[in-house]
């Protein structure tokens, strides 16, 4: 994937790691593609609905000066829908990348003090997100085992 994104792998996420370990020798790329789409959907939901980081921290509001330049149909990280429309996931053999090719995304993900842009983290996997990913992985695992 060219552009800015995160790589979702299971390092540091013990639940997912344990399940993936049980799957050694089985092609996990199909389920990684599904998991990537789930993270993509979770990210889009953050941008469109919750306006919060993966860990649930609400994003800072616009400054009064900047808010005065916005139209009524615009909200945090949503002006014309380009960021939402650019979200994509790309699954490999043992990892998934989720992100966007928009150059300005990095400024929002990490903040840009020089330009007065506060951090509004939208990419990542929070604790609640892990439950959905784990359930997906477990269902897929059970399906694979039943085929053996």
Q: Using alpha carbons, select from 33, 27, 36 the residue that is nearest to residue 144.
A: 27
The domains of the chain are located at 4-143
How far apart CA 114 and CA 119 sit, in angstroms, is 12
Q: 91-128: b or e for each residue (b if 16 or more CB lie within 10 Å)?
A: beeebbbbbbebeebebbbebeeeeebebbbbbbbbee
Average pLDDT over residues 12-38: 79
pTM of model > 0.75 = yes
Strand partners, 6: 98
Average pLDDT over residues 27-45: 93
pLDDT tens digits for range 125-143: 998 899 999 999 889 988 8
SS3 content of the chain, % helix, strand, coil (to 5): 45, 15, 40
Residue 72 has pLDDT above 80, yes or no: no
Name the phi and psi angles at 88, rounded to 5: -150, 155
pLDDT (0 to 100) of residue 4: 56
pLDDT (0 to 100) of residue 99: 95
């Amino acid at each position: 994937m060219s552009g800015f994104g995160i790589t979702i792998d299971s390092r540091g996420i013990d639940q997912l790691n344990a399940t993936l370990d049980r799957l050694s020798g089985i092609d996990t790329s199909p389920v990684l593609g599904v998991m990537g789409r789930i993270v993509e959907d979770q990210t889009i939901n953050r941008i469109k609905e919750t306006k919060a980081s993966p860990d649930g921290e609400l994003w800072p509001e616009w400054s009064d000066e900047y808010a005065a330049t916005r139209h009524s149909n615009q909200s945090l990280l949503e002006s014309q829908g380009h960021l939402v429309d650019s979200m994509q996931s790309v699954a490999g053999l043992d990892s998934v990348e989720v992100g966007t090719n928009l150059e300005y995304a990095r400024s929002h993900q990490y903040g840009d003090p020089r330009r007065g842009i506060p951090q509004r983290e939208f990419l990542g996997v929070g604790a609640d997100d892990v439950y959905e990913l784990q359930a997906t992985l477990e269902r897929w695992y059970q399906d694979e085992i039943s085929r053996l």
